[in-house]
Structure 1
């Protein structure tokens, strides 16, 4: 297939695009490039690229593609809280405009990178399946619900949206995100000796490796349309739901000499949910997740050491998404609407 991947210069994009290419697909990326130089190690292999703000994509940009893998978004709760209205504009309304453009251009499959954040706070400790009610507690989570609802309305005989509700990601990527819990705890354990929890660790969280998310995109791209048309899938592994404090203990087991500590004033995290990943495994035979959190921690330790990661670099703007956005804004490179200023446009 000819596949357009939005957000290909992000954390997940750096893992997904090589996988699609290796499977024989013709891949083009589309990205506004906030994180282009936010690298740990060499960048992934180059692909044809459209440098475009998601809010400006047209049907012409989508012409000639068979499918869209839509990753681009304001990517986490802290950035969403920074400017909630902008989060809705990018993650919801711009996503829907992209889908309209893709449909008008003849794209037949639209894979949307949604999030388990839309479940927000689970009513109890039972794993939530895709029919569970939504209970978002952040603009980011709510923006994903609104996008899913409007994309579903576009589904017809010629256009198949599919919703990948990703669990909390972890694992190495050339454009590493340090603001993800497993990546963060592992880096601090290795580089400071402290597995430092910012909460009391009592919240449940489903965790999934970036490579398993990428594998799910590939499997759904190639799956039979009649099976997946208009379907939502938790991209998660049912056995890989963890209390955050248990993740911290696991990191301490893997990283010699590290100990679990709590930040001053650490309290409960309102984001608290478990999810079931059984549907995607049952309905999409091409998808079989491979990773566990323990294996992912071991991978991260090896990658951090191999690339000479320091705690100063890890905590800086290169690997912390909110700090990166603030740095670009304070330097006058992005305006208040997070658009590149005239001096940066190219």
Structure 2
């Protein structure tokens, strides 16, 4: 397959692109700038693309994987800053233009990276499954939900579509980039007091394997549906304890967080397609990869 990927040079995009290359498919990176030499394990073609601009031609593309999202650096919820209209125009209007171009140019499969933020203000500790009504309480969640709806409307005999509602994604960053916990790890080793926190997480490689499953699944199994994508409920105390053990150091740990207040995502729909995330063992292996970069 020839796959076009927006946001291919981001944290999630690099994992998806590498999974695609390993499967023997061709990757076209859609983004502002071409990947730097050596960023991917194999050469990747590039086509200029910005969410706020008209989309490029997608003729000859078998599948579109839309991962790109315009936001303030390091912020998703609240990523609109002081420009909610610009945020909405780029991310919602731009996404809808991209979907329209893909359908117009004969792309047969479209996947969209959505977010658990579409669930919004369900009470803490709620088991989140795809049959729950979305209740986004941020502009980020609202835009993701409306983009999901637009894409679901494209599903039919000529195109297969699905959205992945991902939780927080972790994993080693690409060359020249920082991973999501780098500041946390620096603060920990510096002896800074760290607030308790627990959250749901999924490894970038597990996101990529989910994308691969949806690319190969029969169209009726996608059906324009959303698929929850999450693996671990991770307490910072447990994460940093593991990191200290890898480093061979004894350091003060934050207090345990109340994990009962974390709304976990039910991923049975994706697991029924054969998805098997790496769990704690994958996290342990990944920390050993992430630690040398500190």
Structure 1 residues 281-319: Cα deviation after superposition (integer angstroms, max 9, x where no partner): 11x12x322x235642542343441xxx35xxxxxxxxx
Counterpart Cα distance in 2 of 1:179 and 1:80 = 22
- Which segments of 5 or more consecutive residues in structure 2 lack a partner in the other structure? none
**Residue of structure 2 in register with 1:337 after alignment:** none
Counterpart Cα distance in 1 of 2:85 and 2:229 = 27
Contact 1:113–1:164 (Cα < 8 Å) also in 2: yes
Contact 1:116–1:234 (Cα < 8 Å) also in 2: yes
Q: CA RMSD in A?
A: 2.9
Residue 159 of structure 1 deviates from its aligned partner by 2.0
TM (norm. structure 1) is 0.73
Contact 1:19–1:214 (Cα < 8 Å) also in 2: yes
TM (norm. structure 2) is 0.84
Contact 1:250–1:294 (Cα < 8 Å) also in 2: no
**Residue of structure 2 in register with 1:185 after alignment:** 184
**Residue of structure 2 in register with 1:230 after alignment:** 224
Q: Secondary structure at the match of 2:221?
A: helix
* Equivalences for residues 1-346 of structure 1 within 5 A: 1-33=1-33, 43-44=39-40, 45-58=42-55, 61-74=57-70, 76-174=76-174, 178=178, 180=180, 182-189=181-188, 192-194=189-191, 197=194, 199-201=195-197, 204-237=198-231, 240-257=232-249, 258-261=251-254, 273-282=263-272, 284-285=273-274, 287-289=275-277, 291-293=278-280, 295-305=282-292, 309-310=293-294
Q: Secondary structure at the match of 1:74?
A: coil
Q: Secondary structure at the match of 1:102?
A: helix
Contact 1:186–1:301 (Cα < 8 Å) also in 2: no
For these two proteins, the number of residue pairs brought into alignment is 285
Q: Secondary structure at the match of 1:54?
A: coil
The 1:273–1:36 alpha-carbon spacing in structure 2 relative to 1, beyond 3 Å, is: farther
Counterpart Cα distance in 2 of 1:141 and 1:177 = 26
Counterpart Cα distance in 2 of 1:233 and 1:175 = 30
Residue 120 of structure 1 deviates from its aligned partner by 2.9
